[in-house]
Amino acid sequence: MIFIKRLLVILILFISIVLIAAYFMPKEYSVEREITINKPADSIFKYVRSLKNQNEFSVWANRDPKIRITYKGTDGAVGAVSSWKSNVKEVGVGEQEITKITENRRLDFALRFKKPMEDTAVGFMSTEPVSGNQTKVRWGISGVIPYPTNIMLPMLKMDQMIGNDLQKGLENLKEKME
pLDDT tens profile 92-114: 999 999 999 999 999 999 999 99
Residue 98 to residue 82: CA distance in whole angstroms:
9
> What pLDDT does 95 receive?
95
Which residues are within 8 A (CB) of 42 and not within 5 positions of it... i.e. 6 or more apart? 104
Q: Is the peptide bond before 40 cis (omega within 30 degrees of 0)?
A: no
With a cut of 50, list the residues of the chain below it in pLDDT.
Answer: none
> What pLDDT does 170 receive?
95
> What pLDDT does 40 receive?
93
Rg of the chain, C-alpha, whole Å = 20
Predicted confidence (pLDDT) per residue in 133-160, tens digit: 999 999 999 987 777 776 666 666 767 7
CA 36 to mean position of chain CA atoms: 20
Q: What is the pTM of this model?
A: 0.81
> What pLDDT does 5 receive?
83
Angle 174-95-88 from CA coordinates, rounded to 5°: 80
